[in-house]
């Protein structure tokens, strides 16, 4: 953790995952695996020796082989080169404009950004830190005026604040109440109007719709089964329905009725205890009282930030229920800057990576969600009611009631959704669930007893409206051992990740059973021992590792953003954005479109409706793995960063930023 050694925040996030919290691992070896091997053997006998076996050495497991013909790629761009340096790189014929950086004004009267004299008040008027999800909500029929809804996931103290350097890792040395206030104001989200004028996107600072949402300034309400429950009550909120703010907003979604979903991911990290062990480390276990099982399963308290030193609500010694008020999906109406965001408890409490919405054939809202932790699960929510066209107010309450389910993957290529319903199956008082409120607050524990399949860190889960399928990013899981592999997570020590494709039968997103296949297994295909699976036409630049965010453009082409953390040193390539073919002979063919500056991950890929602009969020530039950045080889600080991207101004630290990418001369991206 950040109070124990010299890692930066992003590396500490990764390190936290070294402690798998799901100790309830399904028995996955044995029958299940053998069945799947049986399927593989059947495929092998059908295909005999193909070009794929020649290229891969062995036939790829658990998936169909890829062809080697040369049909035309739908990604019609020349790849940029893989590698790592201080700059970003982009496929030829495109250009990237820096649209919004940390500290840029969100309002016409915002304070000018001065990183040497920042305050909570100024930060509340400025673009936050570590931009992640980007949602695009058009304001007119041309799509040339829009609201961008952007999450700010977390903060990196050592490169944000002068003088903090690396010493803050020693129990938050130098992290004052004032700096904690700035951090809080730099979290959350930004809603900002943007306009395309003469081929250039610009923020519209005078828009009345612009808004900052933060953990310190935005009051929220709760609905659904846990709203008002005793486990959501605190001394400041005896109603259990009025929550200040949102935390660690990673990916998210835009609903068909034009609202902004913010997923609360690593919320546990913001909770803190004053109690320490004999070595002076803050305790992380044994503090839950009668909620001990829940605390442990969720990793509360994480002690990643010292806000609890200054704000009692983040201190579990004082407010043991406050952590139950985070870890939800929040819905925001971007058209009303005075509206109260709602935490929809029906969607369950876990480390929500994202919340992508699609309508079922019956018009119900279906939301796909990953719980981003090693050995955690894939979830789906289906609303009880259907969308009412032209009744936005009715749609705004759609997510308060519905069925939350968790996925079990079987070796026969099917996947079953197991509903999390109190009173059904094992979800009873004998197993610790007294009500549906308990089921959603402790969704992880409920999913454990239902026998869900433990996955390799489910990140973004992306429905593709064009082909009707759903793509699950499984970023990595170094902790999976050979006796823990299962059909859907087939690699031990899976530090490279893979992508699963789900097929709802007949495109029915309410179906209880889907089929599934592995689309790619990540890593370098030229090294046999890696066990990668790509279309053999993928170039040496085009393969990737650690898929994280994903978007489908208007043609249904899939774009994958990666987050390797410090593992970029092992793949030799910075994180970036890749076009990944899903159809026909080129299925599994990946091409590198954009590459981040050193130490950054790529988030939030988002297309304007005409596919002529691609917005991307470059997160935490100059931080991850800089010890391994040739010629630099140390941890970045505000004064001495590995890159000063994107300003390259000696007075400016690196700044997370949203880029607007367009094709020179116009036209669809990547064509």
Q: Which residue is nearest to ligand FEO (CB)?
A: 250
Query: Residue 460 binds which entry of ligand FEO, Ca ion, none, with Cβ cut-offs from 5 to 8 Å by kind?
Result: Ca ion
CB 129 within 8 A of CB 152: yes
C-alpha–C-alpha distance, residues 385 and 228, integer Å:
22
Shortest Å distance, C-beta 565 to ligand FEO:
10
Query: Residue 265 binds which entry of Ca ion, ligand FEO, none, with Cβ cut-offs from 5 to 8 Å by kind?
Result: ligand FEO
Angle at 199 between CA 198 and CA 202, to 5 degrees: 85
Shortest Å distance, C-beta 474 to ligand FEO:
11
Tell me whether residue 32 or residue 574 sits nearer to ligand FEO (CB atom).
Answer: 574
Cα dist from 15 to 45, 381, 471, 478, 614, whole Å: 42, 30, 26, 11, 32
Shortest Å distance, C-beta 460 to Ca ion:
4
What is the C-alpha R_g of the chain?
23
CB 20 within 8 A of CB 373: yes
Tell me whether residue 368 or residue 516 sits nearer to Ca ion (CB atom).
Answer: 368
Element (H, E) at 448: helix 443-450
Query: Residue 400 binds which entry of Ca ion, ligand FEO, none, with Cβ cut-offs from 5 to 8 Å by kind?
Result: none
Residue 603, C-beta contacts closer than 8 angstroms, at least 6 positions apart:
131, 132, 133, 134, 153, 251, 548, 549, 561, 563, 616, 617, 618, 619
CB 472 within 8 A of CB 502: yes
Map 216-256 to HEC letters: CCCEEEEECCCCCCHHHCCCCCCCCCEEECCCCEEEEEECC
Cα dist from 54 to 39, 45, 68, 394, 523, whole Å: 20, 15, 11, 57, 18
Tell me whether residue 297 or residue 587 sits nearer to ligand FEO (CB atom).
Answer: 297
Q: Scan for tokens 């909770």, then name that residue.
A: 271
Shortest Å distance, C-beta 522 to Ca ion:
13
Query: Residue 3 binds which entry of Ca ion, ligand FEO, none, with Cβ cut-offs from 5 to 8 Å by kind?
Result: none
Shortest Å distance, C-beta 300 to ligand FEO:
18
DSSP 333: -
Query: Residue 553 binds which entry of ligand FEO, Ca ion, none, with Cβ cut-offs from 5 to 8 Å by kind?
Result: none
Tell me whether residue 401 or residue 611 sits nearer to Ca ion (CB atom).
Answer: 611
3 state SS of 262:
strand
Tell me whether residue 331 or residue 372 sits nearer to ligand FEO (CB atom).
Answer: 372
Shortest Å distance, C-beta 574 to ligand FEO:
17
DSSP 334: T
Tell me whether residue 61 or residue 553 sits nearer to Ca ion (CB atom).
Answer: 553
Length of the chain (residues)? 671
Query: Residue 153 binds which entry of Ca ion, ligand FEO, none, with Cβ cut-offs from 5 to 8 Å by kind?
Result: ligand FEO
Question: 3-state DSSP helix/strand/coil percent for the chain, to nearest 5?
Answer: 20, 30, 50
3 state SS of 457:
coil
Q: Which tokens sit at 297? A: 């399963």
Tell me whether residue 3 or residue 624 sits nearer to Ca ion (CB atom).
Answer: 624
Element (H, E) at 576: strand 576-580
Cα dist from 268 to 70, 173, 264, 447, whole Å: 49, 21, 10, 19
Q: Which tokens sit at 477? A: 């899981």
- 301 forms bridges with which residues in the sheet? none
C-alpha–C-alpha distance, residues 131 and 100, integer Å:
9
C-alpha–C-alpha distance, residues 103 and 24, integer Å:
43
Shortest Å distance, C-beta 265 to ligand FEO:
5
Tell me whether residue 442 or residue 459 sits nearer to ligand FEO (CB atom).
Answer: 459
Tell me whether residue 573 or residue 644 sits nearer to Ca ion (CB atom).
Answer: 573
Shortest Å distance, C-beta 372 to ligand FEO:
4
C-alpha–C-alpha distance, residues 443 and 376, integer Å:
11
Peptide bond connecting 282 to the previous residue in cis, omega within 30 degrees of 0: no
Residues contributing to the site for ligand FEO (CB under 6 A): 153, 250, 265, 353, 372, 459, 548
Shortest Å distance, C-beta 303 to ligand FEO:
18
Query: Residue 462 binds which entry of Ca ion, ligand FEO, none, with Cβ cut-offs from 5 to 8 Å by kind?
Result: Ca ion
Tell me whether residue 426 or residue 554 sits nearer to Ca ion (CB atom).
Answer: 554
C-alpha–C-alpha distance, residues 617 and 460, integer Å:
15
Query: Residue 602 binds which entry of Ca ion, ligand FEO, none, with Cβ cut-offs from 5 to 8 Å by kind?
Result: none
Residues contributing to the site for Ca ion (CB under 5 A): 250, 460, 462, 548, 550-551, 563
Shortest Å distance, C-beta 249 to ligand FEO:
9
In this structure, the strands spanning 342-344 and 219-223 are: parallel
- Closest-CA residue to 656 (of 113, 109, 267): 113
Shortest Å distance, C-beta 562 to ligand FEO:
11
Residue 123: Cβ within 10 Å count? 26
Shortest Å distance, C-beta 257 to ligand FEO:
25
Tell me whether residue 214 or residue 619 sits nearer to ligand FEO (CB atom).
Answer: 619
Tell me whether residue 19 or residue 51 sits nearer to ligand FEO (CB atom).
Answer: 19
Query: Residue 376 binds which entry of ligand FEO, Ca ion, none, with Cβ cut-offs from 5 to 8 Å by kind?
Result: none
Tell me whether residue 65 or residue 552 sits nearer to Ca ion (CB atom).
Answer: 552
Residue 557: phi, psi to the nearest 5?
-75, 140
Cα dist from 514 to 408, 434, 499, 548, 558, whole Å: 10, 31, 16, 22, 20
Shortest Å distance, C-beta 476 to ligand FEO:
11
3 state SS of 300:
coil
Note the helical H segments in 177-328.
Answer: 177-186, 292-298, 307-310
Tell me whether residue 94 or residue 457 sits nearer to ligand FEO (CB atom).
Answer: 457
Shortest Å distance, C-beta 250 to ligand FEO:
3
Query: Residue 17 binds which entry of Ca ion, ligand FEO, none, with Cβ cut-offs from 5 to 8 Å by kind?
Result: none
Tell me whether residue 406 or residue 561 sits nearer to ligand FEO (CB atom).
Answer: 561
């Amino acid at each position: 953790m950040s109070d124990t050694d010299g890692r930066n925040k992003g590396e500490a996030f990764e390190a936290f995952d070294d402690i798998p919290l799901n100790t309830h691992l399904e028995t996955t070896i044995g029958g299940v695996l053998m069945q799947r091997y049986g399927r593989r053997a059947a495929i092998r006998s059908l295909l005999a020796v193909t070009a794929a076996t020649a290229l891969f050495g062995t036939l790829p497991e658990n998936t169909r082989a890829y062809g080697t013909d040369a049909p035309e790629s739908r990604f019609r761009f020349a790849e940029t080169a893989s590698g790592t340096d201080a700059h970003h790189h982009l496929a030829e014929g495109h250009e990237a404009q820096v649209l919004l950086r940390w500290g840029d004004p969100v309002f016409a009267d915002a304070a000018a950004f001065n990183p040497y004299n920042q305050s909570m008040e100024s930060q509340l008027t400025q673009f936050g830190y570590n931009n992640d999800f980007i949602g695009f909500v058009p304001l007119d029929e041309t799509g040339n005026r829009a609201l961008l809804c952007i999450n700010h996931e977390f903060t990196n103290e050592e490169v944000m604040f002068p003088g903090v350097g690396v010493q803050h890792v020693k129990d938050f040395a130098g992290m004052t109440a004032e700096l904690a206030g700035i951090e809080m104001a730099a979290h959350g989200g930004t809603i900002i109007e943007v306009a395309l004028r003469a081929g250039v996107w610009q923020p519209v600072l005078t828009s009345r719709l612009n808004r900052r949402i933060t953990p310190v300034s935005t009051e929220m309400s709760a609905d659904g089964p846990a709203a008002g429950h005793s486990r959501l009550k605190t001394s400041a909120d005896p109603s259990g329905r009025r929550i200040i703010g949102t935390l660690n907003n990673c990916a998210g979604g835009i609903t068909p009725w034009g609202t902004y979903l913010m997923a609360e991911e690593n919320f546990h990290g913001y909770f803190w205890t004053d109690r320490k062990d004999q070595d002076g480390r803050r305790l992380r276990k044994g503090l839950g009282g009668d909620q001990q099982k829940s605390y442990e399963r969720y990793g509360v308290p994480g002690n990643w930030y010292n806000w609890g030193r200054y704000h009692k609500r983040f201190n579990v010694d004082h407010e043991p229920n406050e952590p139950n008020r985070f870890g939800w999906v929040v819905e925001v109406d971007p058209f009303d800057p005075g509206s109260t965001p709602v935490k929809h408890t029906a969607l369950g409490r876990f480390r929500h990576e994202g919340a992508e919405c699609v309508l079922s054939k019956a018009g119900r809202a279906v939301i796909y969600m990953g719980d981003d932790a090693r050995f955690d699960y894939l979830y789906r929510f289906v609303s009880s009611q259907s969308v009412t066209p032209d009744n936005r107010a009715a749609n705004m309450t759609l997510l308060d009631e519905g069925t939350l389910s968790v996925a079990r993957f079987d070796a026969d290529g099917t996947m079953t959704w197991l509903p999390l319903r109190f009173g059904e199956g094992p979800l009873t008082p004998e197993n610790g669930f007294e009500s549906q409120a308990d089921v959603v607050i402790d969704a992880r524990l409920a999913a454990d007893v239902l026998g869900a399949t433990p996955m390799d860190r489910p990140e973004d889960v992306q429905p593709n409206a064009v082909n009707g399928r759903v793509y699950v990013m499984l970023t990595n899981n170094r902790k999976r051992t050979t006796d823990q592999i299962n059909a859907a997570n087939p690699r031990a020590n899976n530090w490279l990740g893979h992508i699963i494709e789900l097929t709802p039968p007949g495109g029915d997103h309410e179906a209880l059973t889907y089929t599934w296949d592995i689309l790619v297994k990540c890593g370098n295909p030229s090294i046999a021992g890696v066990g990668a699976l790509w279309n053999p036409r993928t170039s040496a630049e085009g393969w990737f590792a650690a898929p994280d965010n994903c978007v489908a453009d208007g043609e249904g082409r899939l774009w994958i953003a990666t987050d390797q953390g410090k593992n970029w040193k092992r793949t030799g390539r910075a994180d970036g954005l890749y076009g990944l073919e899903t159809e026909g002979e080129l299925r599994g063919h990946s091409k590198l479109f954009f590459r981040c500056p050193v130490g950054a991950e790529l988030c939030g890929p988002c297309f304007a409706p005409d596919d002529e602009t691609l917005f991307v969020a470059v997160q935490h530039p100059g931080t991850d793995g800089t010890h391994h950045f040739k010629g630099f080889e140390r941890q970045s600080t505000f004064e001495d960063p590995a890159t000063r991207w994107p300003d390259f101004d000696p007075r400016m630290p690196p700044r997370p930023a949203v880029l607007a990418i367009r094709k020179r001369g116009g036209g669809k991206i990547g064509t």
